Amino acid sequence: MVILSSLLGLFFAAFVAATLVPFQSEVIFVALQVAGRVPVLWLIVVASIGNTLGALVNYYIGYGITRFEGKSWFPATPEQMARMERWFERWGVWVLLVSWLPAGDVMTVMAGVMRTRLWLFVLLVGIAKTTRYVGLALITAGLIG
């Protein structure tokens, strides 16, 4: 039961952390790894899936947000949107490989705005999120860093 509740908590934390909600899942991940009650591989898999699915929320926000452009409450001016679109076009979908960085939420929203193919989005974001949790596990274990 401890393993299941730990993994559910980690999944939820990783999911929320990948959305536009300001939250961090790394502390929970490290605490669970240090406690040693859950296999590290499970921590990596669950956190990666949760974080990737959370990024999908941002993707779909971006996918649907353009229909509200021009409204007084819209969070970006047309100039800001154009600048972000040019930036994404310049760097392409490959920016999603660093979607684990603090600005990654904006990248995943822009991927939706730019209509990135869903399979490609999930692949690149999944690689990025998994790589981050593998690195965090290695650092926590004292194997790198």
pLDDT tens profile 11-23: 999 999 999 888 8
Ranking 1-5, 21-25, 74-78 by mean pLDDT, the lowest is: 74-78
Could you report the per-residue pLDDT of 57-68, keeping only the tens digit for each? 999 999 998 788
* 6 pLDDT more than 80: yes
Smallest Cα–Cα separation from 92: which of 80, 107, 79, 77?
Answer: 107
125 within 8 A of 99, measured Cβ to Cβ: yes
pLDDT score for 22: 86
Average pLDDT over residues 44-61: 97
Note the pLDDT of residue 145. Answer: 66
State the average pLDDT over residues 106-135. 96
Q: What are the domain boundaries of the chain?
A: 2-140
Q: What is the mean pLDDT of residues 104-133?
A: 95
Q: How many CB atoms lie within 10 A of CB 141?
A: 12
Is the four-CA dihedral 113, 127, 28, 43 of positive or negative sign?
positive
Show the tokens assigned to 25.
């899942």
Give 3-state DSSP helix, strand, coil % of the chain, rounded to 5: 75, 0, 25
Tokens of 42: 């499970």
